[in-house]
Amino acid sequence: MSQRHKIENYNTASNGEVHAQGVVAESVVAQVDPEQLNVLKPREAAPPEGGFKVPEGPAGGPLQGSSMSGAIPAGVQPEPLPPDPEGMPPALNSINPSSARIGTADVTMNVNGQRFVEGAVIVFNGGDEPTTFHGDLQLSTIVKPSLAEVAISVPVWVRNPDGQRSEVEKTFTFTDPQVEEQRTFPAGPFTITLVEDHPDGIAVTLADGDVRVGDAVLVEATGNTSINGAYTVLSVDGQTVVVDNDVTLETPIEAKGRLTVNGEA
């Protein structure tokens, strides 16, 4: 008899029941009595057509047609496995910079996200751009404001070689320097509503205020001395600006602090 089907006699009851340890042979069916656990009885009949079915019943009580207790309730489903990252579409989180003035020098636009693969392409205003792969979290391409003729905002997204594209799109804006309003400094201070970590530095969300790429800004009173200081604005997305701070912020800071614009690039 193989080890797989070995039953070690541990005790014998008067009714021919066998207390056992190990793997149960096919000729023995396990029935657990609430009063006597680990009791094995010989199978008295051949299995019905289609085999035995495990009955369902309420947790904690005997199953219908069985002496087993502690059943899993009917309808309970196991938790699904987490999705396999392979084969999932790329995720686009941010672009830096997100704007440029018409007629200015070429700029390198970094695209940050997740699940980028070798051969991924940055799609800029509907056209594929020459793309540099820096890893699964970042791509880059060259944007040429010198070729732009009118002020316009264009969509930016990412497509992997398998054809899957990012659901999220970001917007790159070409601004017309002829209609730029004269600014005076210092501007602000503007109220900070959120400070959080960002792949390029620290992201600061403002309640309001006119802040632009290249601005020199002062961040104060955030409650975290490693965040307070003078910075250059790297990118602007709505009311969220990214400044060049290399500190990793583990926990976001909410509704605290102010930002003042002291000059422009």
Q: Which helix (H) or strand (E) holds 218?
A: strand 216-220
> What pLDDT is stored for residue 264 in this prediction?
82
> What pLDDT is stored for residue 6 in this prediction?
41
Q: With pLDDT > 70 as the criterion, what percentage of the chain qualifies?
A: 66
> What pLDDT is stored for residue 47 in this prediction?
60
Buried b (16+ CB within 10 A) or exposed e, 251-264: eebeeebbbbbeee
User: CATH for 187-263?
Assistant: 2.40.30.20
Tokens in use for 244?
Answer: 């060049």
| CB 216, CB 244: distance < 8 Å | no
> What pLDDT is stored for residue 228 in this prediction?
94
Higher pLDDT, 129 or 250: 129
Nearest CA-CA partner of 215 in 235, 196, 197? 235
Tokens in use for 29?
Answer: 């069916």
User: CATH for 91-179?
Assistant: 2.60.40.10
- pLDDT tens for 204-237 read 999 988 899 999 999 999 999 899 999 999 998 8
> What pLDDT is stored for residue 140 in this prediction?
95
Most trustworthy range by pLDDT among 44-48, 75-79, 169-173: 169-173
Q: Which segments of the chain belong to CATH 2.40.30.20? A: 187-263
Q: pLDDT class for 259, splitting at 50, 70, 90?
A: very high
Q: Which segments of the chain belong to CATH 2.60.40.10? A: 91-179
- pLDDT tens for 99-108 read 888 988 899 9
> What pLDDT is stored for residue 42 in this prediction?
52
Q: pLDDT class for 15, splitting at 50, 70, 90?
A: very low
List beta partners, residue 235.
Answer: 242
Calculate mean pLDDT across residues 117-141.
95
**Span of 44-48, 179-183, 229-233, 241-245 with lowest mean pLDDT:** 44-48
- pLDDT tens for 169-183 read 999 999 887 655 678
Spatial distance between the Cα atoms of 213 and 186, rounded to a whole number of angstroms: 16
Calculate mean pLDDT across residues 230-249.
91
Spatial distance between the Cα atoms of 117 and 111, rounded to a whole number of angstroms: 13
| CB 150, CB 136: distance < 8 Å | no
Tokens in use for 79?
Answer: 């938790």
Q: pLDDT class for 91, splitting at 50, 70, 90?
A: very high
